[in-house]
Amino acid sequence: MNSPVRLPKTYAAHLVYVLLVPSFFISFCFLYDPFGIQDFYMVGGKSFPFHFLMLTCIILAVLSLTRLIFVALYKYIPFRRWHYGIWCFGELLVCAFFMALYTALFYGSRMPYFLALSHCLKFSYLIMVYPYVFLILVRLTINLGQDQASRVPDESLVKFYDEHKRLKLTIDPSAILYVSAESNYVKIHYMENDRAKEFMLRNSMRSLEAIAARHGLVRCHRSYYVNPRHIKVLRRAKEYLDAKPELSNELSAAQRRKRAQLQSKPVYKYVALIISLFGVVSAAYGIQSIINHTGNYGIYFALFGFAAIFLFSSYNMLPTARNNHSAIMKRADRAEQAAADYVKRYPNGAFPVPSYYAHPTVLKQMMDAIEEGRAVTVPEALEAVKARAAQRDHILHIKTSSCFQTCSLSSL
């Protein structure tokens, strides 16, 4: 009873509960008239088919809401079998509450609410328990079949023993994330039922060398064994991106231009405009000097040199057809969409990183992070790469600010 329950995680899969239980209730009541329920609901000037239809709608509405809440909680809370049993008991209880409210409404003063509730509890638990039991047995059968299909031969399992040679944990090697040293213990991090778990084993890292070598675990640090499957996943993804480098290059250039656009201040555009005007004025004065034969060639070269410097230095900041906020954002969106469409066709399942990080350089840095011991899983490797990039940008910003302050002080 304390083992985790395995149920579908989508609301669509739970619609079978929402539809089957009310359908069974109305069918069973029509066919067998349990507990004289047909005579009980010949009340209020309405026939029992009308009342059965209304009760079925009440059950349908209650189960629709409770299953929606269950699916939302099940994504974050590891339900045990007894947790799920209590949940099903509570669903039937809530159905009985609303059925009693409906019943008391038609009976009026002849049947108080709590008296109606006692009847509705009997109807709810003793009738609707059958579809619940049936669906639970079906789910257990499905889970048993999945376990048998995915059962790994015993010789290929990783067996962890403590320092007294007692078997403490047996696990599929593909489920291992990494093993870390914790004082006199080793901590085994692994996946079970799509959730990360930990197991403390009293033993040393040295004693695990034979197990690690036999099952392909890599010691990337004196305190870590990692599962190289994560590196293989990244290597396959990098090879997939390398097959079409133009997408990654365009994504990188578009994202870089987008960041520059979002980080640039509006005052820079005005400065660029002023610099461009200086360039135009210098060029115009140079042309006018040549036409009127005023000055010498040194002045001409100086004026045209100033014009070239001013114009080229402000070119990237001037708003043009390709260098404005709208065009830059559209280019970034097109590059991200192209990358997303490409990674959707990834033949090895889900792509290991979001599409906007789909660049061979990013994947190479993630592999380096795992091999250097800075990360042990793919998500941790991506966070390590992002943290290092943020640190690099911060240092660059500090250096740029210091350089600007130095230039300002020297000009004074």
Q: What is the pLDDT of residues 30-62, one digit of tens each?
A: 999 998 999 999 888 888 889 999 999 999 999
Tell me if 205 sits within 8 A of 218, measured CB to CB: no
- Which of 22-31, 118-127, 313-322, 341-350 is predicted with the least confidence, judged by mean pLDDT? 313-322
- Which of 163-177, 207-221, 274-288, 313-327 is predicted with the least confidence, judged by mean pLDDT? 313-327
| DSSP codes joined into one string, 290-328 | HHHT-S-HHHHHHHHHHHHHHHHHHGGGS--SSSSHHHH
Alpha-helical segments (H) within 108-228: 113-149, 209-215
Tell me if 384 sits within 8 A of 369, measured CB to CB: yes
Predicted local confidence at residue 157, as pLDDT: 84
For helices 48-74 and 15-32, the axis angle rounded to 10 degrees is: 160
Predicted local confidence at residue 409, as pLDDT: 37
Taking only Cα atoms into account, the Rg of the chain, rounded to an integer number of angstroms, comes to 35
Q: pTM for this one?
A: 0.44
- Which of 73-77, 104-108, 286-290, 380-384 is predicted with the least confidence, judged by mean pLDDT? 286-290
Predicted local confidence at residue 403, as pLDDT: 47
More confident residue, 405 or 264: 264
Instruction: Tell me the pLDDT band of 269, cut-offs 50, 70 and 90.
Output: low
Q: Is the pLDDT of residue 261 over 70?
A: no
Tell me if 237 sits within 8 A of 244, measured CB to CB: no
Q: Is the pLDDT of residue 408 over 50?
A: no
Q: pLDDT tens digits for 167-194?
A: 888 888 877 877 888 888 888 888 776 5
Sign of the CA dihedral with 182 first, then 186, 190, and 196 last = negative
Predicted local confidence at residue 21, as pLDDT: 92
For the chain, give the percent of residues with pLDDT over 90.
19
Count of other CB atoms within 10 angstroms of residue 342:
19
Average model confidence (pLDDT) across the chain: 77
Nearest to 226 by CA among 206, 207, 236, 212: 212
Q: pLDDT tens digits for 100-151?
A: 999 999 998 889 999 999 999 999 999 999 999 998 899 888 888 876 765 5
User: Which H or E run contains 315?
Assistant: none
**CA gap 176, 174 in Å, rounded:** 6
